[in-house]
Amino acid sequence: TRELALAIDSMFHLRTGCRIHLIVCNLRRTKLDCNRVIADGACGNADAEIAWTAFQHYIDSARLLSESKFAENFYIDLHGHGHTKQRLELGYLLTGSRLRNSDSTLNTPTFIGYSSIQNMVANNVNNYTHAELLRGPEALGTLLGNAGYPSVPSMQDIHPDTADAFFSGGHNTRMHTCGTPNVSANGVQIECNWTDVRNTNANRVKFADSLSKVLIAYLDHH
């Protein structure tokens, strides 16, 4: 996943001339889990707590710098998953059971309030609803699916089935997006499958190229 993130950064630079803010945890998951609260992620180890705090501080610093320059900001927590279904899992802080609700339920204030894109719901130029932004024709998952990368949720795959393992977004997506009060950034956790995305360098570069195209179009459109 580290190599994938670096490829994504390179593709954004190639297309825009600008760099994304990229923060990488280089420690193995057996030593530190930066996507959990510090008590669970560092397990009381003093050195791990220093690393956890530094990682979070880098994200906060990047977000504050971005907010000082731009009206809108978008956060991605990039991971790799080992689930059987070879598809991208987009975590908007909505569990599989919540995604299995109707569009009308997803569009209620309660369900919007769970979401890591709630500020986009409140302020997008085409006035798309929450459900449309999750799984409509211009949703991120739909655009990725159209580019050849099956995703859930999307118009093609509106929610995970009850028996499916699904990552809905963890600590970092909650803390560094509008899922937390007084944070304005919208964002999503992207759990990347192995086949055709992470398994070879050529596939990593190809996916990074597609993701950069899709994200630029997505952000421009909304």
Record the pTM. 0.97
Distances (CA, A) of 84 to 147, 151, 152, 153, 202: 21, 14, 14, 16, 22
DSSP assignment of 11-39: HHHHHHS---------S-TTT--TTS-HH
Listed residue (3, 192, 174, 173) closest to 79, CA to CA: 192
CB 117 within 8 A of CB 183: no
| pLDDT (0 to 100) of residue 165 | 96
| Calpha distance 114→133 (Å, rounded) | 14
Q: Per-residue pLDDT tens, the chain, 222 aa: give them.
A: 999 999 999 999 999 999 999 999 999 999 999 999 999 999 999 999 999 999 999 999 999 999 999 989 999 999 999 999 999 999 999 999 999 999 999 999 999 999 999 999 999 999 999 999 999 999 999 999 999 999 999 999 999 999 999 999 999 999 999 999 999 999 999 999 999 999 999 999 999 999 999 999 999 999
Judge contact between 177 and 66, C-beta under 8 A. no
155 CB neighbour count, 10 Å cutoff: 18
- pLDDT of res. 142: 98
* Residue 222 neighbours by CB under 8 Å, 6+ apart: 120, 124, 125, 126, 128, 133, 138
What pLDDT sits at residue 202? 98
Helix (H) or strand (E) holding 89: strand 88-91
Please give the pLDDT value at position 222. 97
Cα(58)–Cα(181) distance, integer angstroms: 19
User: Which pLDDT does position 19 carry in this prediction?
Assistant: 93
Beta bridge partners of 90: 190
| Alpha carbon 95 to chain centroid, angstroms | 14
Q: For residue 2, how many C-alpha atoms fall within 13 Å in the half-sphere facing its CB?
A: 6
